[in-house]
Homo-oligomer: A and B are copies of this chain.
Amino acid sequence: MAATSTTAAVIGIGPVGSLAALGLAHKGYQVSLFDFRPDPRDINDVNLRSINLAVSDRGITAMKYVDQEMADRLLKGIIPMYGRMIHDLKGNQESQKYGLFREHINSIDRGKLNEDLVSEVERYNKSNPENRIQLNFKCKFTNFHADDSGVTIEYSDAERMKRTAKFDFVVGADGCYSRVRSALMKYIRMDYKQFYIDMCYLELSIPPGPKGSFRIDANHLHIWPRKNFMLIALPNGDGSFTSTFFGPWKLTESLNKKELVEQFFSENFEDAVDLIGMDKIVEAFLDHPKGALMPVTCNQYHYSDKCIIIGDAAHSMVPFYGQGMNCGFEDIRVLLQLLDKHDQDRKLAFDEYTATRHKDLLAILELALNNYYEMSTKVQSPRYLIRKRLDGILGRLIPKYWIPLYTMVSFRADIPYSDCIRIEERQQTILKGLEYALVAGATLAGVYLAKRR
């Protein structure tokens, strides 16, 4: 099958939608993009969407798969983060490296990436005038109808007029409250689950130092781990940090008076108060909206050769592993590769996508949920640190046979998420055995030495 005469509607002009459109266009598909929002380059809403993004191997691999040169341009401004910087209650800082060989995740501005990808669509259009990607902003997708002849999408345009347009297939990349997913549910028996974890988030900001300097180390993801709540901060190119507070709803909503916020932050995040400024913190807690965290899973992801959903529309996850966008980008690479494998036969490619991708998506959702506990609590546990050290020693000694979990998830796009969990389970069993052996060895040595004395 040839892609060149095949038309696709991609719903959602966020990072996943734009990259999907570019990927499909490079394969020859005729792509139209739709989003209910205006062009992100026309609006001044830096950090409209909370939580800075960390782009790592899976995201980068997918971007390069779509277009190597584009990836190089997009990744120019990213800031490498080699590890976590743990801030304890006394303001002491301790670096914990992410990788064993200076691998790093990268802080990237979500708003800027979004804008850059739209610019990349236009750059693509200039180079490929015969197969332009149509950009339809302020066009609100409402529904689709599929039959043997194709898919008719319904949307209201910038003038709020109701419109329809016909395509061969539709790609839903319209986020965790996806309307494409809702429409898809009418065509397939979709298992679907959404649940809210008892945690909200609130965005703060650490302004740059003199002459755009960084006031804390630029090459770390900073964490103030406080068990059932925490603060994090990711660097931006201008010397500032985007900081996010995570805490249970009840606790966070109880901080509803100036004095309460001041007391809470002074007690728990004294050094962060110096960086952010108490006024700004109070303002955020009293006036800014609090974000909810709603993981979403579903199965299956497609209807015949007519519709498929990717990114947050198919699997919204909590942000604690920094994999949300990386996973969405990986969806695109996996899908494009399957289309190639099946010679652009969408039915076969979509079927295999659902059949093989589901276990990996469940795996990363689980990893992301579990990682809150690691970030907020375990990073300060002596036992965790010992095991992490052992893990690291083995990873350096026998790197082909031993790969720490974080490395697999963040730096090894060639290892599917579900394999990361499987391999890690085996490694943890071995680590536990080693621990026992070490303790036993130390005890025996102690007994031996005591006897010699």
Contact = CB atoms under 8 A, between A and B. Distances in A.
A422 interface: no
Contacts of A194: 190-193
Nearest to A189: B196
Nearest to A297: B193
Contacts of A101: none
Interface in A175-219: 182, 189-196
Contact of A191 (B189, B190, B191, B196): B196
A24 to B, nearest CB: 30
A294 interface: yes
A430 interface: no
A193 B192 contact: yes
A202 to B, nearest CB: 16
A292 interface: yes
Contacts of A190: 194, 196
A203 to B, nearest CB: 19
Contacts of A189: 196, 292, 294
A182 B190 CA distance: 16
Contacts of A182: 182
A193 B295 CA distance: 12
Contact of A195 (B191, B195, B292, B294): B191
Contacts of A191: 194-196
A195 B299 CA distance: 9
A294 B188 CA distance: 12
Contacts of A294: 189
A255 to B, nearest CB: 19
A192 B194 CA distance: 5
Given A182-B182, A189-B196, A192-B195, 8 more contacts: A190-B194, A190-B196, A191-B194, A191-B195, A192-B193, A192-B194, A193-B193, A193-B194
14 contacts: A182-B182, A189-B196, A189-B292, A189-B294, A190-B194, A191-B195, A191-B196, A192-B192, A192-B193, A192-B194, A192-B195, A193-B193, A193-B194, A193-B195
Q: Report the 3 A-B pairs with minimum CB-CB distance, sorted nearest first.
A: A189-B196, A191-B195, A193-B193
